[in-house]
Chain A
Amino acid sequence: MKSKSIRVDTLARVEGEGALHIKIKENSVVDVKLEIYEPPRFFEAFLRGRSFREAPDITARICGICHIAYQTSAIHAMERALGVEVHPQVRALRRLIYCGEWIESHALHIFMLHGPDFLGFQDAIALAKEKPELVKMALGLKKLGNDIVTLIGGREIHSINLRLGGFYRMPTRSDLQPLVDRLKWARDAAVESVKITGGLEFPEFERDYEFLALKHDNEYAITEGYLATNRGLAIDINDYEKHFAEEHVEHSNALHSIHKGKGTYFVGPLARYNLNYDQLPSIAKEAAESVKLGSFVRNPFKGIVVRAVELLFAFDESLRLIEEYEPAPKPFVDCEPKAAVGCGATEAPRGLLYHRYKIDDAGLIQDAKIVPPTSQNLRTIEEDLWQFVPPRISLPTEQLTWVCEQAVRNYDPCISCATHFLKLKIENV
Chain B
Amino acid sequence: MPSSSKPTLAVWKFASCDGCQLSLLDCEEELLDIVGEIDIAYFPEATRAVKKGPYDLSLVEGSITTPHDAERIHKIRRMSKTLVTIGACATAGGIQALRNYKDVREFTSIVYANPQYIETLGKSTPISDHVLVDFELRGCPINKYQLIEAISAYLGERKPNLPKYALCIECKQKRNVCTMVARGEACLGPVTQAGCGALCPSYNRGCYSCFGPKETPNTASLALWLEKKLGADSAALIRAFRSYNASAEPFRRESEQHEV
Contacts and interface: CB of A to CB of B under 8 A. Distances in A.
Interface stretch (A7-15, A175-183, A216-224, A313-321): A7-15
Contacts of B46: 12-13, 112, 123-125
15 contacts: A12-B47, A39-B14, A42-B107, A44-B110, A46-B98, A64-B22, A108-B25, A128-B35, A155-B199, A156-B26, A156-B144, A168-B204, A169-B203, A414-B18, A421-B112
A428 to B, nearest CB: 11
B199 A154 contact: yes
Given A44-B111, A46-B96, A425-B117, 20 more contacts: A13-B45, A14-B45, A41-B96, A42-B99, A45-B107, A61-B244, A64-B19, A64-B20, A125-B47, A128-B32, A128-B35, A143-B28, A143-B29, A158-B140, A168-B203, A168-B205, A255-B113, A424-B66, A424-B117, A425-B119
B177 interface: no
Nearest to B199: A154
Which of A63, A143, A156 has the most chain B CB atoms inside 10 A of its CB? A156
A40 B120 contact: yes
Interface in A19-65: 37-46, 48, 50-51, 54, 57-58, 61-65
B10 interface: no
Given A168-B203, A423-B112, A41 B68 contact: no
Contact of A161 (B45, B111, B203, B236): B203
Interface residues of B, number: 65
Contact of A12 (B16, B48, B202): B48
Given A45-B111, A64-B19, A157-B141, A11 B28 contact: no
Interface string B12-46: 01111111101101101101100100001000111
A184 to B, nearest CB: 19
B17 A62 contact: yes
B23 A158 contact: no
Which of A67, A140, A424 has the most chain B CB atoms inside 10 A of its CB? A424
Contacts of A38: 13, 15
Nearest to A370: B111
B95 interface: yes
Contacts of B119: 424-426
Given A154-B203, A160-B203, A416 B48 contact: no
A46 B99 contact: yes
Contact of B140 (A10, A39, A61, A63): A61
Nearest to A161: B203
Interface in B88-122: 94-96, 98-99, 102, 104, 106-108, 110-114, 117-120
Nearest to B124: A41
A156 B68 CA distance: 32
Contacts of B69: 39
Contacts of A125: 35, 40, 46-47
Given A16-B18, A39-B120, A61-B17, A123 B48 contact: yes
A58 B20 contact: no
Contacts of A112: 25, 46
Contact of B200 (A124, A146, A160): A160
Interface of B: 13-20, 22-23, 25-26, 28-29, 31-32, 35, 40, 44-50, 65-66, 68-69, 94-96, 98-99, 102, 104, 106-108, 110-114, 117-120, 140-141, 143-144, 196, 199-200, 202-205, 208, 210, 236, 239, 243-244
A160 B199 contact: yes
Contacts of A405: 48
Contacts of A421: 111-112
A15 B44 CA distance: 9
A409 to B, nearest CB: 10
A41 B15 contact: yes
A302 interface: no
A17 interface: yes
Nearest to A15: B18
A322 interface: no
B44 A65 contact: no
A67 B140 CA distance: 12
Interface of A: 10-17, 37-46, 48, 50-51, 54, 57-58, 61-65, 67, 108, 112, 122-126, 128, 135-136, 139-140, 142-143, 146, 154-158, 160-161, 163, 168-169, 248, 255, 331, 402, 405, 414, 416, 421, 423-426
B199 A61 contact: no
Contacts of B48: 12-13, 122-123, 402, 405
A41 B65 contact: yes
B256 to A, nearest CB: 16
Contacts of A425: 117, 119
A139 B34 CA distance: 14
Nearest to B121: A39
Contacts of A16: 13, 18
A35 B1 CA distance: 40
Given A128-B32, A248-B113, A424-B118, A158 B45 contact: no
A41 B111 CA distance: 10
Nearest to B29: A143
Contacts of A414: 18
A57 B243 CA distance: 10
Which of B65, B199, B203, B243 has the most chain A CB atoms inside 10 A of its CB? B203
A108 B95 CA distance: 26
B18 A64 contact: yes
A423 B112 CA distance: 7
B95 A146 contact: no
Nearest to A10: B44
A136 B31 CA distance: 10
Nearest to B104: A42
Nearest to A48: B110
A172 B26 CA distance: 26
A423 B117 contact: yes
Contacts of A45: 99, 102, 106-108, 110-111
A410 B45 CA distance: 15
A139 B99 contact: no
B25 A122 contact: no
